[in-house]
Amino acid sequence: MKISKICCIGAGYVGGPTMAVIAKMNPNIQVTIVDINQERIDAWNDKDVSKLPIYEPGLAEIVAETRGKNLYFSTEIDKAIDESEMIFISVNTPTKTYGKGKGMAADLKYVELCARNIADVAKTDKIVVEKSTLPVRTAQAIKSILHNTGSNVKFDILSNPEFLAEGTAIQDLLNPDRVLIGGESEEAIEALANIYGSWVPQDQILRTNVWSSELSKLTANAFLAQRISSINAISELCERTEADVSEVARAIGMDSRIGSKFLNASIGFGGSCFQKDILNLVYIARSYGLNEVADYWEQVIILNDHQKRRFSDNLISTLYNTVSGKKIAMLGWAFKKDTNDTRESAAIYVADHLLSEQANIAVYDPKVPSKKVYVDLNYLQTRSEDENKALVETFDDPYEAVKDAHAIAIMTEWDEFKTYDWKKIFNLMKKPAFIFDGRNILNKDEMTEIGFEYSSIGK
């Protein structure tokens, strides 16, 4: 089956980059990305591609190349569904904030709305592709909604989870380790495999049953996050024993069975996926009565929360047990470098804790807009919006942010932080000048030589 028109519901961090790459690699396929969020669609359509709603290295170039040719952004959801042979669902699946499973289960209301929308509008046969990360067996619910419309329209449901990481999304999409397609209908699976086949070798396109595909996505994220919690757990032990976590990571990473990637000790993982997907895995395991399985994976989150907390505790105790009225400059607010995404960023939780101790926070991030910092803090509802406004200041210039600061906390591993004039920064700060390097990106000897009181993770 040759597909000529596809649409993607959800113009977010996954829908946007994924569909842009599909459009680039398949010039004969018309790709329409739709969303209910008019502002987001307007930003995707902005003539100035530096104003796209998502910052990802390489994305603006691909959008500039394909937009208006075979890539379109629109809020006309029904029209796009009606015209497409294949529909990707790439909407958000956040942790539920209400009712049964609150704080644990994935909220599937947006996915269900999409399924109902497709069921209402479709007049011709469609392949529906789950691109969002979903609990295992969600395809059953989608199938039930789509197959109970009373029409003669045939729907094939595929699971095609996305493994891109933010900050490297375009590279990950262009050179994926694998593409995973789960489904029942061989014809539908091959139609999707053909689209990826334009640039991904066929032996890297895995075909599985739907349930394995759905569960593989949650499992991959759980394994990745588990590595970070494992090395972070060791980092605390290193701090007590004069072992150095970077040396330990290097030593174990050279064992080919362990591998060297994803062993960077840090302030704790952030991002919209790891915590949400593990909580979801824990919830699913518990719902099957598998309490040992659930407890095992929950520990990854418990350790991560501990790591964030102990970073701010250590900062406070080092600053003579009080940060009240002191200026703490935070370098970085994004959850990792090369993205403007701040969802679940460790910086938010560290700042919140320091604010509760009455610190004044100065934030500089190269890509995160000022208003996002306040939105993130206000969302926690720890204090009033006015109080956050009074205690937190954001800066466009890092040297302004650090002026008269008692301490610097490095929250994101942006490359530019390494290139700063640290002598100049030292001179701008109050003395003793403290650096808390939550990403281990600076050289301890150089910083100590300049005069800083420098501490990092796991050393």
Ligand X SMILES: NC(=O)c1ccc[n+]([C@@H]2O[C@H](COP(=O)([O-])OP(=O)(O)OC[C@H]3O[C@@H](n4cnc5c(N)ncnc54)[C@H](O)[C@@H]3O)[C@@H](O)[C@H]2O)c1
Q: Which residues are catalytic?
A: 162, 217, 273
- Inter-CA distances, 193 with 182, 200, 226, Å: 11, 9, 30
- 93 contact choice in ligand UPG, ligand X, none (CB below 5 to 8 Å, kind-dependent): ligand X
CA distance 139 to 305: 32
For the segment 82-101, give every residue that binds ligand X (CB under 6 A). 90-93
Q: How far apart are the first and last CA of the chain?
A: 57
User: 33 and 16 in contact (C-beta within 8 Å)?
Assistant: yes
113 is a site residue for ligand UPG (CB under 6 A)? no
Amino acid letter, 299: Q
* Among the listed residues 158, 224, 300, 301, the single contact to ligand UPG using CB under 6 A: 224
* Among the listed residues 3, 37, 212, 306, the single contact to ligand X using CB under 6 A: 37
| Residue 98 DSSP one-character state | S
Sign for the CA dihedral angle at 208, 210, 216, 219 comes to negative
70 is a site residue for ligand X (CB under 6 A)? no
Burial class, 28, CB count within 10 angstroms (exposed 0-12 / middle 13-18 / buried 19+): exposed
132 is a site residue for ligand X (CB under 6 A)? yes
164 is a site residue for ligand X (CB under 6 A)? yes
Q: How does DSSP assign 138-159, residue by residue?
A: HHHHHHHHHTTSSS---EEEEE
Q: Which of 9/392 has CB closer to ligand X?
A: 9
Gyration radius (Cα) of the chain, Å? 23
167 is a site residue for ligand X (CB under 6 A)? no
Binding mask 327-366 for ligand UPG (x = CB under 6 A): --------xx------------------------------
User: 421 and 449 in contact (C-beta within 8 Å)?
Assistant: no
Closest listed residue to residue 409, CA positions, set 443, 371, 454: 454
Q: Which of 163/211 has CB closer to ligand UPG?
A: 163
Amino acid letter, 230: S
193 is a site residue for ligand X (CB under 6 A)? no
339 is a site residue for ligand X (CB under 6 A)? no
- 336 contact choice in ligand X, ligand UPG, none (CB below 5 to 8 Å, kind-dependent): ligand UPG
In three-state secondary structure terms, 34 is: strand
170 is a site residue for ligand X (CB under 6 A)? no
211 is a site residue for ligand X (CB under 6 A)? no
CB count in 10 Å sphere of residue 280:
26
CA distance 457 to 436: 8
Binding mask 16-35 for ligand X (x = CB under 6 A): -------------------x
* Among the listed residues 33, 228, 319, 323, the single contact to ligand UPG using CB under 6 A: 228
* Among the listed residues 40, 96, 406, 459, the single contact to ligand X using CB under 6 A: 40
Beta-bridge partner residues of 88: 8, 129
Q: How far is the CB of 303 from ligand X (least distance, A)?
A: 21
Part in contact with ligand X (CB under 6 A); list of ranges 161-169, 262-270, 330-338, 347-355: 161-169
* Among the listed residues 44, 155, 269, 422, the single contact to ligand UPG using CB under 6 A: 269
Sign for the CA dihedral angle at 224, 342, 129, 32 comes to negative
User: 35 and 10 in contact (C-beta within 8 Å)?
Assistant: yes
Part in contact with ligand UPG (CB under 6 A); list of ranges 35-43, 136-144, 260-268, 417-425: 260-268
* Among the listed residues 6, 7, 8, 12, the single contact to ligand X using CB under 6 A: 12
- 37 contact choice in ligand X, ligand UPG, none (CB below 5 to 8 Å, kind-dependent): ligand X
Which parts of this chain interact with ligand X (CB under 6 A)? Answer: 9-15, 35-37, 40, 77, 90-93, 110, 113-114, 132-133, 162, 164, 166, 272-273
